Amino acid sequence: MKAGVIGYPLKHSISPQFQQPAFDALGLDVTYRACEIAPPDVPQFIAGLRAGDWLGCNVTIPHKKAVYDLMDSLTEEARLIGAVNTVIYTGGALTGHNTDATGFLRALVDEAGFDVAGKRTVVLGAGGAARAAAVALLRAGAAAVALANRTVERAEALAKDLAVHFERERVAALPLETDALRGPLAGATLLVNSTSVGMAHGPAPDAAPVPTSLLGPHLLVYDLVYNPARTALLAAAEAAGAQTLEGLPMLIYQGAASFERWTGRLAPIHIMMQHGRRALYQSKVQGPESKVEER
Ligand SMILES: NC(=O)c1ccc[n+]([C@@H]2O[C@H](COP(=O)([O-])OP(=O)(O)OC[C@H]3O[C@@H](n4cnc5c(N)ncnc54)[C@H](OP(=O)(O)O)[C@@H]3O)[C@@H](O)[C@H]2O)c1
């Protein structure tokens, strides 16, 4: 059988490096590969999944929305997030699913021991990752999710969208500015970075997305950026006495949730985590030519 990840460009996806060892560890005869598919070729690729020898595929930037429109059915998670990151082919039909919120939450609970219920939270960003994080937090019972974004109109639009599914008073939108963030951050116990600030080869690789003077020991700081593992934000959070959580576990857990949907078997998390870390380490020692970016 076959499985894979589609995106464009996709030269340095690390999904094959942690998914293939998972199939192998369970003795499953599945080949998982990276499929770089240009946007006009996505419908043809998706139609090809119906040939019968595919379990399905992961979907990454920039295809998550295009694939959404090509599915026979969608899970509740895919609808809530408005994007598909996992296609499952069963019984002659393609189901669009999204495991980003599950991966986000499982990392938060299993790796950091954080209980979301009743907590006040601040989420930086208003893109796909911020939306998945906000959905996960609201579903898990967070008392408040304040969305802070450089382009405040995008945070407002996201808050409005989320208010269709969750109580309006639990969601707020703010500009990504010191004065606006001071109060919400002082009252929060969780800060999530879902901007691309801090990401290797991204818009501001060495910067933190918030003034580090706003961080303190009352916070768990969760950076969804996973390359590098230790971002400027996490280093500052640690120095301020905050608990920290890096982005790789979310990537592994979202992949593990896809694996479990395809196979009906528990994913070998330990093996996936070990191979994911190794893949990131190799990309670092090999230098910028092997830049890793995948969402
Ligand atoms: N660990 C994981 O499994 C996982 C999963 C998904 C994503 N991620 C990571 O999450 C990050 C965001 O991904 P995405 O898919 O949500 O990307 P996206 O949709 O492109 O959104 C990017 C976000 O970053 C903000 N931003 C970009 N440059 C900025 C800057 N210089 N200053 C302040 N804000 C800036 C954007 O603000 P504007 O709206 O103002 O442009 C936007 O809110 C990436 O680093 C990605 O690798 C990790």
Structural domain includes residue 11: yes
pLDDT above 70 for 285: no
Q: 145 C-alpha vs ligand 1 centroid, how far in Å?
A: 17
Q: What CATH number is associated with residue 6?
A: 3.40.50.10860
User: Which residue is closest in CA terms to ligand 1's atom 37?
Assistant: 150
What is the pLDDT, as a whole number, of residue 284? 72
Phi, psi dihedral angles at 89 (to 5 degrees): -105, 110
Q: 197 C-alpha vs ligand 1 centroid, how far in Å?
A: 7
Q: Is ligand 1 within 6 A of the CB of residue 250?
A: yes
Average pLDDT over residues 29-38: 97
pLDDT digit string, tens, across residues 54-100: 999 999 999 999 999 999 999 999 999 999 999 999 999 999 999 99
Substitution site in 14, 124, 196 for ligand 1 pocket (most atoms within 8 Å of beta carbon):
196
Task: Kindly state whether residues 16 and 131 are assigned to the same domain.
Answer: no
Q: Given the DSSP bridges, would you call strands 243-245 and 171-175 parallel, antiparallel or unpaired?
A: unpaired
Task: Kindly state whether residues 85 and 186 are assigned to the same domain.
Answer: no
Write the DSSP string, 127-179: SHHHHHHHHHHHHTT-SEEEEEESSHHHHHHHHHHHTTTS-GGGEEEEES-HH
What is the pLDDT, as a whole number, of residue 289? 43
Structural domain includes residue 163: yes
User: Which residue is closest in CA terms to ligand 1's atom 30?
Assistant: 197
**Residue 135 to residue 183: CA distance in whole angstroms:** 22
Q: How large is the greatest C-alpha to C-alpha distance in the chain, in angstroms? A: 56
- Domain residues for the domain of 215 are 101-248
pLDDT digit string, tens, across residues 137-175: 999 999 999 999 999 999 999 999 999 999 999 999 999
Q: What CATH number is associated with residue 185?
A: 3.40.50.720
65 flagged as catalytic: no
What is the pLDDT, as a whole number, of residue 288? 46
Substitution site in 98, 108, 195 for ligand 1 pocket (most atoms within 8 Å of beta carbon):
195
Percentage of the chain with pLDDT > 90? 91
Q: 203 C-alpha vs ligand 1 centroid, how far in Å?
A: 9
Q: Which of 11, 64, 65, 119 is catalytic?
A: 64
Q: How many domains does the structure of the chain reveal?
A: 2
Closest CA to 6 of 49, 40, 36, 39: 36
In a 13 Å sphere around the CA of 242, the CA atoms on its Cβ side amount to 28
**Residue 13 to residue 79: CA distance in whole angstroms:** 25
Q: Which atom of ligand 1 is nearest to the CA of 293?
A: 47
Q: Is ligand 1 within 6 A of the CB of residue 199?
A: yes
Q: 184 C-alpha vs ligand 1 centroid, how far in Å?
A: 20
What is the pLDDT, as a whole number, of residue 166? 96
Q: 82 C-alpha vs ligand 1 centroid, how far in Å?
A: 16
Structural domain includes residue 295: no
In a 13 Å sphere around the CA of 282, the CA atoms on its Cβ side amount to 10
Task: Kindly state whether residues 62 and 145 are assigned to the same domain.
Answer: no
pLDDT digit string, tens, across residues 93-144: 999 999 999 999 999 999 999 999 999 999 999 999 999 999 999 999 999 9
Integer angstrom CA distances of residue 141 from 114, 120, 170, 268, 274: 12, 10, 10, 28, 31
pLDDT digit string, tens, across residues 209-264: 999 999 999 999 999 999 999 999 999 999 999 999 999 999 999 999 999 999 99
Substitution site in 201, 206, 295 for ligand 1 pocket (most atoms within 8 Å of beta carbon):
295
Task: Kindly state whether residues 105 and 216 are assigned to the same domain.
Answer: yes
Higher pLDDT, 201 or 180: 180
